[in-house]
Amino acid sequence: MTQVLVAGGSGTAGRQVVKEFLARGHSVRVLTRHGGAPGTEIVHVHGDLVTGEGLADALDGVDVVVDTTDGKTRRTRAVLDEGATNLLATADGAGVRRAVLLSIANVDGGEFAYYQAKRRQERVYENSPVETVIVRATQFHDFIPMVAKPPSRVGVIPAFARTRFQTIDTRDVALALVDAALSTDPAPEGPITIGGPEVRTARELVVAWKKARGAHGLVLDVPLPGALGAFLRAGRNLVPENEFGSITFDQWLADTTTA
């Protein structure tokens, strides 16, 4: 049985990673800033990635680390580079054999702040003395309601114009991350890239979400400005040659009730 630490284990992808490790019979610790009471299968351990406080105890006896942390806002972005630096330095001292990072498909081609921050996080992993694996995934299925749901309350549902997505289920992402963490093969030279099982337009995805959820509102094609809009319209978020997931967006909609 492998002792695992999941950083970001309470997040969208992290929760599925925890479930996948448990399903395979491994022992899981979830790193949190505030700690928590041990559960029957999961132990919540205190550790602050930005300050480094508590990380040594959290990593004591850990075999592998999976990092699904996120920092989309300027206020939380330090968890990506500073947090990765502290996590991996402590992991090295604790004798962790492998660390796996969740990142974004083609993140090195994005010129906007969030992608640049994720790329800095990747570089920390690439330069770590700990053996590391980077798994880059396309946008999650959850991305569509994140964009569509709030404005639907006022009768408008935006669909990014001339944009396609290859969304992937976080359960499939978890499979890739756990496989990478438990593998005994040498770490690959570069990142592992995975994408969902189909490429669909933003409008198709939004209309499917609207129908499944019974949402009200007019679906409008909206141009997305700036570097992110240019990135998406150029299809640089797509990796059709790296299909990995088997759970389609429609299947995910059927499996979920609130998204």
Listed residue (217, 173, 162, 134) closest to 19, CA to CA: 173
The letter for the amino acid at 17 is V
Q: Are 202 and 235 in contact (CB under 8 A)?
A: no
Residue matched to tokens 């438990």: 182
Listed residue (45, 52, 10) closest to 29, CA to CA: 45
Confidence grade of residue 218 (pLDDT, cut at 50, 70, 90): very high
Total of domains in the chain: 1
Q: Burial level of 87, CB count in 10 A (0-12/13-18/19+)?
A: buried
From residue 167, give the alpha-carbon distance in Å to each of 81, 215, 252: 26, 21, 10
* CATH number where 143 lies: 3.40.50.720
Domain extent at residue 37: 3-255
Confidence grade of residue 36 (pLDDT, cut at 50, 70, 90): low
Residue matched to tokens 């400005």: 225
pLDDT at 212 over 60: yes
pLDDT at 35 over 70: no
**Weakest-pLDDT range from 136-140, 202-206, 237-241, 254-258:** 254-258
